[in-house]
């Protein structure tokens, strides 16, 4: 397809411009998607403010950000066409992390560790634009019942799914989740659906904790705000009380907060599994009490990206296990992408997830 499109181009910290760009030209293995809805991710915010470099050759723009998106297929490359995989008009969600399939890690099936990934919105142009192209292997059809906004947040949901899979929930588990951000809320819903006995969510603001309470958490704990009715100054003692002295059998940490990284070790009990998921800074460390952890026979895992779980995430939404309406608290137009990014970072308003509606359904 030829012609021009509107795109939000990121140049340098706090400089993003709406421009006319050529519509991306697809290769034989690609699909062109007319973008409908794009999630504003924490990483978009940190690129925008210059808190982390882009993954481009020099770490800089110009680049179209936006990697969590859904849309409609408008052009199909030769390979997917000959395989009969897609037709113009298909409603799809998009996995932006396109592995090379030939490095050592890819050859062993560890696609999240690919050494040369092509990532829409991170090292090639992404979805804060009217059109975006992807390899046909990273485009998935969605059920008619799934809205484009829900399909846009499948990327973070897929990451959440991978973390929850690693948590290995057993029916009846006492689970502690640290961090009621969008990912933490998604995880709570999925952990509940996996058969957890009780779930306690630990956070620092009451609004997201109240959403966690509506999303399957049995208990919420505020460790920062002394005026909160859920406040405690000793989360370990609180979990001990709530678990009848047994402590948590599963703990997941979708936050990088230093205190949470440490508290995960003290709220977890014998034979527990801990999954670290949040993205800390390069200098951050976790101090593991060696003897207690060994003699408690704990398992500590880490979770990165979302290999081989997209179909699971899509099924969870398609089958009604997830309540994503609670998560999407703010919507912006493509013109207001920059306003949206700033709002999600700076506004004191109650908020969880913002999406940019590029083309309303």
Of 93, 87, 37, residue with least CA distance to 66: 37
Residue 124: count of CB within 10 angstroms of its CB: 18
Give, as ranges, the residues between 18 and 47 that touch Zn ion (CB under 5 A). 41
Q: How far is the CB of 4 from Zn ion (least distance, A)?
A: 27
Q: Which is nearer to Zn ion, 95 or 99 (CB)?
A: 99
Whether the Cβ atoms of residue 147 and residue 122 lie closer than 8 Å to each other: no
DSSP class of residue 283?
T
Q: What is the closest distance, in whole angstroms, from the C-beta atom of residue 111 to Zn ion in the complex?
A: 7
How far the first Cα of the chain sits from its last, in Å, is: 21
* Member of 99, 194, 272, 337 binding Zn ion (CB under 5 A): 99
Q: Near Zn ion by CB under 5 A, which window of 107-115, 229-237, 297-305, 352-360? A: 107-115
Q: Between 198 and 353, name the residue whose CB sits nearer to Zn ion.
A: 353
Q: Is 114 a residue that touches Zn ion (CB under 5 A)?
A: yes
What's the token pair of residue 127?
């979805």
Alpha helices, DSSP H only, in the chain?
42-48, 78-82, 104-107, 148-152, 154-167, 182-193, 206-214, 235-242, 258-267, 290-295, 310-318, 337-346
- Mutual orientation of helices 154-167 and 310-318 as an angle, nearest 10°? 110
Taking the least distance from each CB to Zn ion, the nearer of 27 and 88 is 27
Host H or E run for residue 31: strand 30-39
Per CB under 5 A, 100 contacts Zn ion: yes
Minimum distance of Zn ion from residue 86's CB (angstroms): 24
When the beta carbons of 255 and 268 are compared against Zn ion, the nearer one is 255
Between 106 and 252, CB nearer to Zn ion = 106
By CB under 5 A, is residue 279 in contact with Zn ion?
no
- Residue 106 is a binding residue for Zn ion (CB under 5 A): yes
Contact predicate 211/163, CB 8 Å: no
Rank residues 8 and 99 by Cβ distance to Zn ion and give the closer one.
Answer: 99
In the bound state with Zn ion, the residue whose beta carbon lies nearer, of 93 and 249, is: 93
Taking CA 97 as the corner, what is the angle to CA 92 and CA 102, rounded to the nearest 5 degrees? 120
Q: Which stretch binds Zn ion (CB under 5 A): 6-14, 78-86, 97-105, 282-290?
A: 97-105
Residue (of 268, 89, 266) closest to 167 by Cα position: 268
Selected range binding Zn ion among 62-70, 198-206, 216-224, 292-300, rule: CB under 5 A: 62-70
114 vs 185, beta carbon nearer Zn ion? 114
Q: At its nearest, how many Å lie between Zn ion and the CB of residue 223?
A: 26
For the bound state, the minimum distance from the C-beta of residue 220 to Zn ion, rounded and expressed in Å, comes to: 25
Helix (H) or strand (E) holding 21, with range, is strand 15-22
Under DSSP, is residue 246 helix (H, G, I), strand (E, B) or coil?
A: coil
* Cα separation, 228 vs 162, whole angstroms: 32
Q: Smallest distance from the beta carbon of 175 to Zn ion, in angstroms?
A: 24
Q: How many residues bind Zn ion (CB under 5 A)?
A: 7
Piece in contact with Zn ion (CB under 5 A), picked from 90-98, 102-110, 191-199, 297-305: 102-110
103 lines the binding site for Zn ion (CB under 5 A) = yes
Burial class (CB in 10 A: 0-12, 13-18, 19+), 166: middle
For Zn ion, which is the closer residue by CB, 135 or 272?
135
| 160 near Zn ion, rule: CB under 5 A | no
Helix axes 182-193, 206-214, angle to 10 degrees: 20
Give the footprint of Zn ion on this chain (CB under 5 A).
41, 68, 99-100, 103, 106, 114
């Amino acid at each position: 397809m030829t012609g021009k499109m509107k795109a939000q181009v990121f140049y340098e910290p706090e400089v993003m411009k709406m421009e006319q760009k050529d519509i991306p030209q697809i290769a034989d293995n690609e699909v062109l998607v007319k973008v409908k809805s794009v999630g504003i991710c924490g990483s978009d915010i940190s690129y925008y403010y210059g808190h982390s470099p882009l993954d481009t050759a020099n770490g800089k723009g110009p680049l179209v950000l936006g990697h969590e998106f859904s849309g409609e297929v408008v052009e199909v490359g030769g390979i997917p066409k000959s395989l009969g995989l897609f037709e113009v008009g298909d409603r799809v969600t998009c996995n932006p992390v396109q592995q090379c399939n030939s490095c050592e890690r890819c050859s062993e099936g560890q696609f999240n560790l690919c050494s040369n990934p092509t990532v829409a919105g991170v090292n090639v142009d992404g979805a804060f634009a009217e059109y975006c192209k992807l390899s046909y292997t990273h485009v998935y059809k969605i059920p008619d019942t799934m809205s484009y906004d829900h399909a846009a947040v499948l990327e973070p949901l897929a990451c959440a799914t991978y973390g929850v899979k690693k948590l290995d929930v057993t029916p009846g588990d006492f689970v502690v989740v640290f961090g009621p951000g969008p990912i933490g809320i998604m995880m709570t819903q999925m952990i509940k659906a996996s058969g957890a006995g009780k779930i306690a969510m630990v956070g620092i603001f009451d609004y997201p904790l109240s959403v966690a309470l509506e999303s399957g958490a049995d208990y919420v704990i505020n460790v920062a705000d002394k005026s909160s009715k859920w406040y405690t100054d000793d989360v370990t003692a609180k979990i001990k009380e709530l678990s009848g002295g047994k402590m948590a059998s599963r703990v997941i940490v979708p936050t990088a907060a230093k205190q949470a990284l440490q508290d995960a070790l003290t709220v977890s009990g014998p034979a527990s599994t801990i999954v670290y998921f949040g993205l800390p800074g390069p200098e951050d460390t976790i101090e593991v009490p060696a003897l207690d952890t060994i003699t408690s026979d704990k398992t500590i895992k880490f979770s990165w990206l979302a290999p081989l779980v997209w179909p699971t995430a899509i099924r969870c939404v398609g089958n009604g296990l997830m309540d994503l309406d609670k998560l999407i608290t703010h919507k912006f137009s493509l013109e207001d992408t920059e306003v949206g990014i700033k709002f999600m970072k700076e506004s004191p308003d109650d908020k969880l997830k913002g999406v940019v509606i590029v083309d309303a359904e």
